[in-house]
């Protein structure tokens, strides 16, 4: 018999449980838990798995619509894309592991999100990453950036799925806590989606994939805590990934699903075997018995505690049709992966964990999942932002050069060129545009992908910042010619026990929900990552929005590449809003004023106009950070031709008013475009033209080759 540690207040605290939560466990069990049971409760009741601080507010989000096949609660969301096909997608965080061990932390983040997708029967077709790092000058930033980018590339490239978009930002708030948000999407037949709810009593519970080791033990609990100077001690909680095993696991699962053997299936992610078994049982209203001596292990002498909390990668749990056991085993033998019956479903509300005949845990299953704590944390609304202080005189040429050479707004090619973005041969628009676009294989349809958030806005005005994140994703899809379908979110915040942080969360949720409703982009999946703090200093609120859109034909794609001789047209109203702008942050080191307010009705109207105008225009680009000047310069670089804009004024050129687009088109098409704008009530103004070898903003002129070199050289110079 294994001697287990005595449960002390210090041990309880080390497991991320409060004294009140431990008392709640005792009351629920009518006894003290064993050490293994304490670990199981710790795994299931942490923020990462239980969403105990966020559930109340997540329920307010719009999650349904005629396009939604499956909303939040499964491994990933599912939307209908017509012709009997479905898109399965989700975004989730691997923030804490990536800060502790950048390469493996980021790599296993990719592995985990891919499993979420193919667990549901989909074949992955695209990934994205939204990355937030500290200041470029910070001593850890260079190693974090290089490690994370290498880890993403190493795993994704070996697995063989294109990385087609994402985000990259740098800000001092992430100095002690980088963010690595991973997105994956896959295709499946709409009538062949696999879910995680177990069904049937006495059905075999089967372990699939790689063997269990000690890596990642306590990972979910670690991801639900702040960092301090003991961070290096947490390195063993980071998982180690093997993309080649993952590839075999996907192929084996795809083959297995075609046999009819699968009743339910769940990947082993956060909290490993514990979470997957409990969630399958809870969703199916059943109990689960596990016999741990049957679990394939790669390390000798593993305890029940270690096996239940290990987060070793490339593993799945399945409830199997018993008559198909031989067929299923043959599939996994073929792919040289472990297949072991490790338990069964039971009728009682019970999670029974045994090892060599010894009971290691005997718990009411509902207490672990359905009855997990749920908190209504105290929260303070974010105070209205003070008016922006006076802005010094700005030289437009110098301002543009400063922005376009900033690591925050320079070309991301140094990053995405390290990823395989064309594998599978269906990539139509590569990273670096408003949205990446992938053909639906064997059809003329395509899917567009984007991710967005502006954390400065979210801190200054969480409601408008939340709206803006969704609205910018909407604009990116529309500017690419895609009809927005749905969203996934990755809500990254600091400590929810601080009322001001919880207030940011509540405000952002309000804004996100309002925008998703008006723009018809329901949230179908997502992730919450809290406690992103180091030594009490939190990150900027960063509710990343991943969005997908549908193109009925590849001919509907709108690119951001103008032709020389095109005129330049501005869609939307310009007031010259400079509060919380990129100009303030990059040129003056200031983050004052209010965030720009979002008119959701205008966003929808203007986006639909751009899509309707696709036959008249050469190119489109949405306006966001850096305003009109930065967007026009990006189009000029893409088209390898200069651009001239006559109007001057800092607010006009660099303001970040929302709901706006730049369109490039032949001059002869302007009357028809103007008529369409008048018919739909869309503000439209001709403001310039493409051509020549310079970027001209009023009286300020920059050679295009200088701007291009600055744009492309910033990241290689900083991190190459």
Catalytic residue numbers read 48, 94
Strands 351-355 and 287-291, by their bridges, are parallel
- In the structure encoding, which two tokens stand for residue 659, read together? 């709901």
CA of residue 133 relative to chain centroid, distance: 15
SS3 category, 417:
coil
- In the structure encoding, which two tokens stand for residue 107, read together? 């790599």
DSSP code, position 72: B
DSSP state letters, 648-690: --HHHHH---SS-EEEEE-GGGHHHHHHHHHHHT--EEEEEEE
Give the integer Cα–Cα distance in Å for 631 and 409. 10
CA angle at residue 451 from 449 to 453, to 5 degrees? 160
Strands 567-571 and 684-690, by their bridges, are antiparallel
DSSP state letters, 541-596: PEEEEEEEEEESSGGG--BS-PPTT-EEEEES------TT-HHHHHHH----SPPP
What's the helix, strand, coil split of the chain in %, to 5? 40, 25, 40
DSSP code, position 5: P
Q: What distances in angstroms separate CA 30 from CA 363, 391, 551, one per listed residue?
A: 11, 65, 57
CB-CB contact of 220 with 43 (8 Å): yes
- In the structure encoding, which two tokens stand for residue 521, read together? 């982009």
CB-CB contact of 403 with 586 (8 Å): yes
- In the structure encoding, which two tokens stand for residue 553, read together? 């034909």
Q: How many helices (H) and strands (E) does the chain have?
A: 25, 28
Give the integer Cα–Cα distance in Å for 256 and 331. 6
CB-CB contact of 60 with 508 (8 Å): no
Of how many residues is the chain composed? Answer: 720
Distant-in-sequence, close-in-space partners of 230: CB < 8 Å, separation ≥ 6: none
Strands 77-82 and 68-70, by their bridges, are antiparallel
DSSP code, position 212: B
Give the integer Cα–Cα distance in Å for 267 and 337. 15
CB-CB contact of 650 with 395 (8 Å): no
Among candidate residues 112, 181, 174, 88, the one with its CA nearest the CA of residue 137: 174
Q: Inter-axis angle of helices 396-404 and 704-719, to 10 degrees?
A: 40
Helix ranges (DSSP H) in 178-226:
219-222
Which value, in Å, is the radius of gyration of the alpha carbons in the chain? 26
Q: What distances in angstroms separate CA 187 from CA 84, 174, 262, 423, one per listed residue?
A: 11, 34, 19, 16
- In the structure encoding, which two tokens stand for residue 608, read together? 């639909």
Strands 619-622 and 684-690, by their bridges, are unpaired
Q: What distances in angstroms separate CA 650 from CA 399, 596, 623, 655, one per listed residue?
A: 9, 16, 15, 7
CB-CB contact of 541 with 504 (8 Å): yes
Indicate if the alpha-carbon torsion angle 287, 293, 296, 297 is positive or negative: positive
């Amino acid at each position: 018999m294994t001697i287990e540690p005595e449960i002390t207040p210090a041990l309880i605290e080390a497991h991320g449980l409060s004294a009140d939560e431990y008392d709640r466990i005792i009351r629920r069990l009518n006894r003290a838990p064993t050490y293994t049971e304490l670990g199981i409760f710790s795994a299931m009741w942490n923020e990462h798995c239980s969403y105990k601080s966020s559930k109340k507010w997540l329920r307010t989000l719009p999650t349904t619509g005629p396009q939604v096949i499956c909303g939040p609660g499964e491994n990933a969301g599912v939307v209908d894309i017509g012709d009997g096909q479905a898109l399965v997608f989700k975004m989730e965080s691997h923030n804490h592991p990536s800060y502790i061990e950048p390469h493996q932390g980021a790599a296993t983040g990719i592995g985990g999100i891919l499993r979420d997708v193919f667990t549901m029967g989909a074949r992955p077709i695209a990934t994205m990453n939204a990355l937030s790092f500290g200041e470029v000058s910070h001593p850890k930033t260079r190693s974090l950036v290089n490690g994370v980018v290498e880890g993403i590339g190493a795993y994704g490239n070996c697995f063989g799925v294109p990385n087609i978009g994402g985000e990259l930002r740098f800000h001092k708030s992430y100095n002690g806590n980088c963010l690595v948000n991973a997105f994956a999407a896959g295709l499946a037949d709409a009538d062949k989606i696999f879910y995680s709810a177990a069904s049937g009593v006495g059905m075999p519970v089967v372990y699939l994939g790689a063997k269990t080791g000690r890596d990642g033990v306590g990972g979910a609990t670690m991801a639900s805590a702040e960092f301090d100077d003991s961070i290096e001690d947490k390195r063993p909680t980071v998982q180690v990934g093997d993309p080649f095993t993952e590839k075999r696991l996907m192929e084996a699962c795809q083959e297995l699903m075609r046999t009819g053997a699968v009743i339910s299936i769940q990947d082993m992610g956060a909290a490993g075997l514990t979470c997957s078994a409990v969630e399958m049982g809870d969703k199916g209203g059943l109990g689960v018995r596990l016999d741990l001596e049957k679990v394939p292990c790669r390390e000798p002498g593993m305890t029940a505690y270690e096996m239940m909390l290990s987060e070793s990668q490339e593993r799945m749990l399945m409830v199997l049709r018993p008559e198909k056991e031989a067929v299923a085993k043959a599939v996994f033998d073929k792919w040289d992966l472990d297949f072991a019956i490790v338990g069964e479903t039971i009728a009682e509300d019970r999670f029974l964990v045994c090892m060599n005949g010894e009971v290691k845990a005997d718990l009411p299953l509902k207490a672990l999942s359905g009855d997990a704590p749920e908190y209504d944390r105290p929260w303070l609304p974010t105070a209205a932002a003070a008016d922006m202080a006076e802005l010094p005189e700005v030289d437009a040429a110098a301002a543009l050069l400063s922005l376009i050479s900033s690591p925050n707004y320079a070309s991301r090619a140094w990053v995405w060129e390290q990823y395989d973005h064309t594998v599978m041969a269906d990539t139509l628009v590569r990273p670096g545009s408003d949205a990446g676009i992938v053909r639906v294989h064997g059809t003329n349809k395509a899917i567009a992908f984007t991710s967005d958030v502006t954390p400065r806005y979210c801190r200054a005005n969480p409601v408008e910042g939340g709206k803006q994140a969704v609205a910018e994703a909407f604009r990116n899809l529309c500017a690419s010619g895609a009809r927005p379908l749905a969203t996934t979110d990755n809500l990254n915040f600091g400590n929810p026990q601080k009322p001001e942080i919880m207030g940011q969360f509540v405000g952002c949720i309000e804004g996100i929900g309002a925008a998703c409703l008006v723009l018809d982009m329901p949230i179908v999946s997502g992730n919450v990552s809290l406690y992103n703090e180091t030594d009490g200093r939190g990150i900027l609120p960063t509710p990343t929005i991943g969005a997908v859109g549908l193109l009925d034909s590849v001919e509907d794609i709108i690119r951001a590449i103008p032709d020389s001789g095109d005129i330049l047209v501005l869609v939307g109203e310009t007031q010259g809003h400079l509060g919380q702008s990129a100009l303030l942050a990059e040129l003056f080191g200031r983050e004052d004023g209010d965030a720009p307010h979002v008119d959701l009705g205008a966003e929808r109207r203007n986006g639909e106009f751009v899509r309707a105008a696709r036959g008249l225009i050469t190119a489109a680009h949405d306006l966001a950070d850096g305003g009109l000047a930065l967007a026009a310069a990006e189009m000029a670089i893409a088209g390898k031709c200069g651009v001239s804009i006559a109007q001057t004024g800092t607010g006009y050129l660099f303001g970040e008013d929302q709901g706006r687009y730049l369109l490039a088109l032949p001059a002869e098409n302007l009357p028809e475009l103007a008529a369409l704008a008048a018919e739909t009530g869309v503000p439209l103004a001709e403001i310039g033209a493409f051509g020549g070898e310079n970027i001209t903003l009023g009286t300020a002129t920059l050679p295009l080759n200088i701007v291009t070199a600055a744009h492309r050289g910033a990241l290689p110079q900083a991190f190459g």
